[in-house]
Amino acid sequence: MTDLDHTHDPALCSWVASANAADTDFPIQNLPLGMARATGSTGAFRPVTAIGDQVLDLIAAAELGALSDALGAVLRTCEGLGLNPLMAIGPGLRRQLRHELVAALQDDAGPKQAALLAPALKPMSEVEMTLPCRIGDYTDFYAGIHHATAVGKLFRPDNPLLPNYKWVPIGYHGRVSSTGVSGQTFRRPLGQTKAPEAEAPGFGPVKRLDYELEVGALVATGNEPGRPVPIDEAEQHLFGLVLLNDWSARDLQAWEYQPLGPFLAKSFATTISPWVITMEALAPFRRAFTRPDGDPRPLPYLDGAANRERGAIGIRLEVHLQTRAMRDAGQAPAKLMASDFADAYWTVAQMLTHHASNGCNLQPGDLFGSGTMSGPAADQGGSLLELTQGGKQAITLPGGEQRTFLQDGDSVALVGRCEAPGRRAIGFGPCVGTVVPGGAWGVGGPPGRRA
């Protein structure tokens, strides 16, 4: 796991003034990575980092002499393709990129570096983002034990968790083609559903559309087929984290789920945040990975000293909802809940190790979803399914509107922020998606890859 170094110093400031604001997601201690281009441009997306409210073009920074030739060569191969080449080259060069960026952007660099890098900087409001990498495969796990328990109680009150839950990181293979970045607009899916009292199923727009608050992990270096990844090496194969909304059609899911699991209820849209928060940036927010007393200890292949000591990651997570009426009235989104990623029952290292344990070959850019990250309290559900007790108890929004499940025009925003005593807080940036009526595309067009 990444150790703390001078790049995590909470006193570190940048000559980019907005990076020093207390409420910014992107201080110099963060330096997330993504792919962007100027708004309205038809040019290729290029690798970038965020610093305050500015975006730094990394290829341009290398050409201006602020980054080494070795980094410049790798970054140029990312243009138009995604961050996969940088992912594949391993953690050493990624750490070097972080160190060189801090050296170029810290306030000690002064007016000279500010003048040098001015041509490579652009306000965040003037760029559009795309997916940070080519996602080859997407696996959604079920590591949120509070979600698993709450949903299990809706259907199995006496035995909410299935026997394998505390032994194996459960997951299923998801769909990649409908994955988009923040700003994604998608139409309400159609599907086959069956009401409990109906004799036969019907087909039409789903009525129980939901969101799921998740954290996504992106694979860096892969492994060869047939070669598992030991738990003590797992984090060397991880690139960073994003926010992830696993949109779900609950009525479709209930009808199709048995016996093979999620299919069309989950494949119509997935939204992720465009900025990858690297494993290096997350180092100050690591926590001990623990299990409640009486729970089984992970099997040896999923248990390592480093994972026990620092495997969990503290991320405060929130869900905000804005209806069309709220938007038209200029009303801010309403916060629905908050939870902590540190409560996950399995760590990202355990997910990766288990995924590769049968010899499955992971590849740079593969995406893992954590599963819904709910908190232990009833008002901390990471989905409407939980917050409304399966649609039985509507939630009331500030303007008086009520929701059991999502209506057309609703926008859902996920928020993630890391905070720890004596450390500079960092954030994930936006992860917003909007549902429009089935059969008609919204202003944003079909499920998009641009913010």
In this structure, are residues 334 and 322 in contact, taking their beta carbons and an 8 Å threshold?
yes
Query: How far apart are the C-alpha atoms of 79 and 89, rounded to whole Å?
Result: 16
In this structure, are residues 167 and 228 in contact, taking their beta carbons and an 8 Å threshold?
no
b/e for 345-367, b at 16 or more Cβ within 10 A? bbbbbbbbbbbbbeebebbbbbb
For residue 238, which of 425, 105, 419, 370 has the smallest C-alpha distance?
370
| Strand, helix or coil for residue 8 | helix
For residue 19, which of 133, 155, 121, 147 has the smallest C-alpha distance?
121
End-to-end alpha-carbon separation of the chain, Å?
A: 32
Q: Is 416 exposed, middle or buried (0-12, 13-18, 19+ CB in 10 A)?
A: buried
Length of the chain: 451
Could you say which of 8, 146, 147, 355 is catalytic? 147
Q: Which long-range contacts (CB under 8 A, 24 or more apart) does 56-61 make?
A: 56/101, 56/105, 56/117, 56/120, 56/121, 57/120, 57/121, 57/122, 58/97, 60/119, 60/120, 61/101, 61/104, 61/117, 61/120
Work out the number of other CB atoms within 10 angstroms of the CB of residue 226: 10
Token pair belonging to 207? 């009525």
b/e for 310-321, b at 16 or more Cβ within 10 A? bbbbbbbbbbbb
In this structure, are residues 240 and 264 in contact, taking their beta carbons and an 8 Å threshold?
no
320 is catalytic: no
Q: Is 398 exposed, middle or buried (0-12, 13-18, 19+ CB in 10 A)?
A: exposed
According to DSSP, the residues that pair with 412 across neighbouring strands are 321, 433
| Strand, helix or coil for residue 216 | strand
Catalytic annotation, residues: 147
